Each structure stands twice: as structure tokens, then as C-alpha cells.
Chains A and B, each alone.
Chain A
Amino acid sequence: MGEKNIVRSNILLGLGFALMTAALYLVFIFAPTEEAMGQIQRIFYFHVSMAWVAFLAFFVVFICSILYLWKRAIKWDTIARFSAELGIVFTTLVLITGPIWAKPVWGVWWIWEPRLTATLVLWLIYIAYLLVRSYAAEASRGARFAAVLGIVGFIDVPIVYLSIHLWRTHHPPALVSDLVPSMLLPLLVSVAAFTVLYIILITRSISLSNLEAEVRQLKDARANQRRS
């Protein structure tokens, strides 16, 4: 890692830490307790932020998949792969925190209603995206199939987002404009904190893949030396 990259990475880490600390303060101390749901509503701030980051991650997969199929440059495939991995991590957290919020409010962990079902389908699509890669006979073919899935699978993201408007659903509407300023601020800071966390993790993942490439190159060099 170059000196410039280390400085950039440290700035990002500092920013992420500051934003996450501010988000925790705003969520647990600054934000008022919601009248109908009580303390459990405080899940909302991180739940929505993680859903936003998951959508962002899958959007990056979508764009990088198009670029990979167009340019055939391995770097687009690498970013798409790691972004899908991160999208899955955050969608998993959304799928876990949602039922924990639902149980005391709705009385049940899970309802097969449009928003929840579409989110579960989204998670399954990107699990399939990673499986396609690992089961493909050749890496390049796996990357191609995954890129197609990364483009087609993204259709589910607007479906998840619009599901509360298109169908009758139990899920509360995500109307940011309806929030009072003392609830809007914690939400916005949490979204910013998770966005920076995503950028930190994707940057680290890319440097990890560079390391992987270096290992592969050296293995090839060693094999060539042994042959000659």
C-alpha cells in the first residue's frame, strides 16, 4: 500500500469511527422515545441504514457487472464480487434485526408479506450470485454468469423499495419526510456512518484481492521456474 493510500485509509477510518460514535450517541441518547413502540423503535435507525448500504452494495454490483461484461477487465469483477459479499452481510443483518423489531410490535417474528418476502428473495439472489462463481468450472465463466445474475438480480432492489407502495403491507412506510428533526438527524448520521463503513470494507477487500493476485502470480512464476 502506498503512503497516499495509507493516509487516505486512515482518514476514512477516523471519519468512520467519528460518525459511528456520533450515530450511537444520537440513536440512544439524543433521539426521543417513540410513543407507540417505545425503546424498540431505536432499531429503526441502524435497520434502515443497513438496508440503504445493502442497496448501495447491490447497485455497485449492477454497475460493475455491466462494466465487466463490456470491458472484460478483471477489476470490475473483483469489485462486484466483494460488493455482493458486503451486500449479503448487510441484508443478513436487515433480515435479523427486522424480525427482532417485529416480534414485540406485531407479536410474530415473520410475516410472508411483500417487503419481507422481497428482501428474503434479494438475499437468496445474491447468495446464488456467489454460489455460481464457486461452482463454475472455469473462473472466467463463473464471473460471466455471476455478472449476468448481478444485472438481472438487481431488478429485485426497486421491488423491495417500492413494495410498501405497490402492495398492502404490514411494514411501516419509509417516509423520511414524515420524521421529526430529532429522529431525522440520527437516521442521516447512521446512514453516513454505514456508508463510510461500506467504503472502508470495500477498499480493504480490493487490496485483499490484489494480494490474492500477487500470490497467484508468484505461484505461476514458481511453477515456470520448476518446469525450466
Chain B
Amino acid sequence: MDNLNYLFAAYTIIWAVIFGYVFFMHQRHRRLQRELDLLKEDVDEQKMD
């Protein structure tokens, strides 16, 4: 009664979900960082005007 396919499926899903969540966080971070840089440039330009 080994059921290695079930064991493999369980651990694959665990790592897929954890990596998926970390990737989602990373994307969120990158998007915010890009938005922040653009805003900083915009605010600096307006100050110079």
C-alpha cells in the first residue's frame, strides 16, 4: 500500500501553491515599486515647474 502517486501529488501541490504565493507577492512588490518610481519622478518634475 504505497500510493506514491498520491504522496507526489500532495507535495507537488504544496510547493506549487507556496511558490505561486511568493511569486504573486513578488509581482505585487515590483508593480508597486514601478508605480512609486513613476510617482516620485512626477512629483519632482512638478516641484521643478
- Tally of A interface residues using CB under 8 Å: 33
Rounded to whole angstroms, the CA-CA distance of A225 and B45 in the bound complex is: 11
Query: What residues of B have a CB within 8 angstroms of the CB of A221 in the complex?
Result: 43
Restricting to A3-51, which residues have a CB under 8 Å from any CB of B?
37-40, 42-43, 46-47, 50
Mostly, the B contact residues are helix
Contact B43 A100, beta carbon cutoff 8 Å: no
Q: B12 → chain A, closest Cβ, in Å?
A: 10
Is the beta-carbon distance between B36 and A101 smaller than 8 angstroms? no
Q: How large is the interface on B (under 10, 10 to 19, 20 to 34, 35 or more residues)?
A: 20 to 34
From A57-65, A89-97, A137-145, A152-160, the one touching the partner chain is: A89-97
A222 touches B3 (CB 8 A): no
**Neighbour of B39 across the interface among A46, A47, A101, A215, CB < 8 A:** A215
Quick check: B25 and A222 within 8 Å, CB to CB? Answer: no
A172 CB → nearest B CB, Å? 16
A175 within 8 A of B: no
A211 near B29 with CB under 8 A, answer yes
Among A67-75, A163-171, A200-208, the stretch in contact with B: A200-208
B positions within 8 Å CB-CB of A: 1-4, 6-7, 9-11, 13-14, 17-18, 21-22, 25, 28-29, 32-33, 35-36, 39-40, 42-43, 46-47
